[in-house]
Structure 1
Amino acid sequence: MTNNNPFNLIPLIPTGRNETDNVNLYSPDDMITIYEQQFLTEVPDDQLTEFLPALKAFYDIDDNTLDISAVIFDAIGDAAIIYNHKIKVGDYQLLGELVKESILEETEEQSKDQANNDSNDAQAFTIDCLRTFYINEIQIPYHFNLFIQGDGYSTLTEKNTVLEKLYWFVHDGFDEHLLGNPDDVISLESINAELNKLGIREMDLTTVHAVVNYIEDHIIDDAMADALNEKMDAAE
C-alpha cells in the first residue's frame, strides 16, 4: 500500500471547487493551516524538492491557492512564521501593583549653574508582569519587570524560561560571556537543548534574533497599555 500522505499533512475538507473546477477551495482557517504547513512541516533534506508538489497534490490546490493563503494569513492570522517556527503572542498578567519610583532629573538651570542644588522629581513606576508566548502552539511564559517613565518604558527580564534566555543570549555582550561564570553562560547549544525538550526544532542565530525582535515588538499590546494607564491614573 502506498502512503499518499508521506509528510503527515493535516487532512482538511474542501468547501468546493474553483470556477474552472480544476482545484479545491478551502475555508479561510483551513487555508491558513495549509500556508503554515509549508513552513512548519519538518522535511528531510533529500525530500525538499518533493514536498511542495506533494502538499499541492494532497490538498488538490495550485500556486494561486497558496498565494491567497498567504494573504489571508497576513490579514487575519494572529501569529508569525519565523524561519520554520510559528510564533504567537498570548495573554498578559500584571502580577503586582504599580510601585512609584523617584527619579532625579537635572534641570536646564542646574546644567548652567552647578551651585544650584535644586532637583525635580520625575514620576516613574515599576510593575511585575508576565506575557505568554507560543512557539508551534507550545505555551512559554515570559516574566519581566516593567519600568515606565513618561511615554517611555524598559524591561528587565528573568532568566528562567527558554524565551527569557533567548533574550539574554541576544542582549548579553560577548565580553560578559567571556568574563562571567561559565555555569551562568547562555549558549545557543543550551537553548536548543531546552527547545528540543519542549519538542521545538532547533534555531540558528538568525532565527533567535528574529524571535527576540518579535517578543520585544509584542510584549505590550493595546489591552495591556490601557490597563497600565488606568493604574497610573489611579496612582497619580
Structure 2
Amino acid sequence: MRWRTIRTDQTGLSLVELLVSVVLLGVCLVMISGLYVSATRTLGSATALGTSTREASNGMNAIARSIRAATANPVASPALADPAISEASNESLTLYAYVNLGFSTQQPVKIRLAVDAERRLVETRWASIPHSGGLFTFETTALSSRILAQTVSPSGSGLPLFSFADSAGVVVPVDVAPTPVQLRSIVTVTVTLTVQASATDARNAVTLSNTVGMPNVRLAGGGP
C-alpha cells in the first residue's frame, strides 16, 4: 500500500505555478541587467569626464605658463621690438617667451599654440639663434611639438579659444589679422578651453576659462 501511494502521488508544480515562476525570473533578470547596464554607463561617463577634466586642466596650465612668460622680441631695426604676440586669432597664437633678457643668459623660444585640423591643441616651439647685442632670431625648423589636448570643442559651439584685450580691458579684434599696433596693445589673453571625448560626442565636455596676464609686457610699458 505504501509503495502504491508513492507511485500514484502526483503532487508538484502546476503549469500556472511554473509560468508564474518563469515570469518572476524574467523580471528579476531584466532588473539585474538594467542595473548592470546603468552602472556600466555611469562608470564610462565618470571615466570620460575625469579624462576630459585632467586633459583640460593640464592644457590650461601649459597655455597659461607660456602666455605669462611672453615678452617682446628686441630687433636691430626698427627701434620698436617685435610684439610679444606676433600672430593672434580665435584658435591660435604665436608668441615669444623669455625672462630677464638683459640680465640672463637664458635664450628665448618662439611658441605657437594652435588647434589643428583634427581639433587637437598643439604646442610647437622653435629655438632661438643668438646675435650680437643681445638680439635673437629663430630657427625655421621646430624644436619640439606636443599635444596639449586631444579633442577641442569645434569652433562656433561656444566662446573662442583665445580672445585678447588691451590694458583698458577693451577686446582686440582678431577676425582679420591684427596690425602690429594692435598686437603691441595686448596685455591679457582669455583662454576658454573646452575638451570633449570626440568631435561628435560632447556629453562629457569640460570647459575651463582663465584670463592670463603678461607681466613682462606690462613692465615694458604695454600697460599699467
TM-score between both structures, scaled by the size of structure 2: 0.24
Quick check: which has more Rg, 1 or 2?
2
